Amino acid sequence: MVTRDKVDFVMGIISSGVALAVSQVAKEMKVLFVDTIAQTSALTGEQGHPYVVRTNTNSTIIGRTAALAAAKQDWQKFYFIGPDYEWGHVVNNDFWSFLQTKKEGVEKLGDLWPKLGERDFSSHITTMLAAEPDAVFSSLWGGDLIAFIKQAKAYGFFEKTKFISTGAGDLDILKPLGEEMPDGLMATFLYAFDMPIQGKEKENDAFVAKFKEKAGYEPKTGDIIGYVSTYMLAEAIEKADTTETEKLAATLRGMSFDTVLGPATIRDFDGQSTFGYHAGFTYTHADYPFKRLKDVTRAEGEAVLRTEAEIEKAREDYKKKGN
């Protein structure tokens, strides 16, 4: 694409594993990679470099937001389940390592790593229930998460343990499940169309109305982050007055943006944006045929992201391992 189409930059990528691979190619070819979706913290952390920036949150923000919310509950014993690739492993670690600093006496009972695309979770469900955890932390997403929730309900799973999900707060999950989604699940999320960021109510309402008019449905997380990321990049191009790689990459780092998702800065030392994140609980809403979220708390990105010193140490440790 870079050599054939002579693109000025590469933007997007869903899978964390794929994003890391694309990032390494971008580094080698010295082309700007703007990650808008993939969430592994390693992208702008351990494996960061001058040619990658992220206009979204990352696994550290997500995992630590969940940990802060979980630490307020009376849960002590945790089980973990996540897809067996980069995203699942890194966000589970981000959650668990941070939770231990926020709550004394927590215990990890075990973890399970189903393959990405797994559709039979019966053995995973029975294994976790047999351990009798207070809560299960899940980084399953998409069709995997939908399949898990449907199957787990048949075992009375959600009456026997609490469930913390990094994926259940988005409309991609809430709408397909509809009334099948249990009440009381803890879910983390970046954006909810009906819960605008404070001070962004009018801007959000206008965006939702225009989006719904064009698309016919309420905007999901992927929709809003694509919208916001495009405008962020456009602002940077305007400021740099060029799409030349070196200048545009340098302009993006340290630049601050005022968006419908709230203010955010792309940090100069790692290229990571500072958007905040939320945790809430699913419940039945009279106005919608799908569950919404209540008792929502918000963590600001800068408050939970790794510091510059932590990023530097992580990169040094990564290099020492021969990478």
For residue 210, being part of any structural domain is answered with: no
Residues of the chain with pLDDT under 50: none
Least Cα distance to 17 among 115, 138, 99, 101 occurs for 115
Burial per residue of 174-190, b for 16 or more beta-carbon CB atoms within 10 angstroms, e otherwise: bbbbeeebbeebbbbbb
pLDDT digits (tens, 9 = 90+) for 9-53: 889 999 999 999 999 999 999 999 999 999 999 999 999 999 999
Both 181 and 240 in one domain: the answer is no
For residue 121, being part of any structural domain is answered with: yes
Both 142 and 291 in one domain: the answer is yes
For residue 159, being part of any structural domain is answered with: yes
Classify burial at 93, counting beta carbons within 10 Å of its beta carbon; exposed 0-12, middle 13-18, buried 19 or more. middle
pLDDT at 1: 64
Both 148 and 6 in one domain: the answer is no
CATH code assigned at 50: 3.40.50.2300
Both 187 and 300 in one domain: the answer is yes
3-class DSSP state of 52: strand
pLDDT at 6: 78
Both 268 and 283 in one domain: the answer is no
Both 147 and 227 in one domain: the answer is no
For residue 213, being part of any structural domain is answered with: no
For residue 211, being part of any structural domain is answered with: no
pLDDT at 265: 98
Distance between CA atoms of 149 and 307, rounded to whole angstroms? Answer: 36
C-alpha triplet 95, 99, 105: angle, nearest 5°: 140
For residue 212, being part of any structural domain is answered with: no
How many beta carbons lie within 10 A of that of residue 313, not counting itself?
13
The CA distances from residue 99 to 196, 304, 316, in Å, are: 27, 12, 24
Distance between CA atoms of 170 and 293, rounded to whole angstroms? Answer: 10
Both 71 and 159 in one domain: the answer is yes
Distance between CA atoms of 44 and 270, rounded to whole angstroms? Answer: 5
Both 173 and 84 in one domain: the answer is yes
Q: Name the domain count of the chain.
A: 2
Distance between CA atoms of 96 and 70, rounded to whole angstroms? Answer: 10
For residue 205, being part of any structural domain is answered with: no
pLDDT at 5: 65
Least Cα distance to 113 among 94, 133, 91, 134 occurs for 91
Q: Are 33 and 68 in contact (CB under 8 A)?
A: no
How many beta carbons lie within 10 A of that of residue 120, not counting itself?
11
Both 260 and 150 in one domain: the answer is no
pLDDT at 322: 84
Largest CA distance in the chain: 60
Both 96 and 169 in one domain: the answer is yes
Ramachandran angles phi, psi of 257, nearest 5°: -135, 145
**Look-up: residue for tokens 């070196």?**
246
For residue 236, being part of any structural domain is answered with: yes
Q: Quote the domain boundaries for residue 80.
A: 60-196+279-304
Both 52 and 128 in one domain: the answer is no
Both 36 and 153 in one domain: the answer is no
pLDDT digits (tens, 9 = 90+) for 155-189: 999 999 999 999 999 999 999 999 999 999 999 99
Q: Could you tell me whether strands 52-54 and 9-12 are parallel, antiparallel, or unpaired per DSSP bridges? A: unpaired
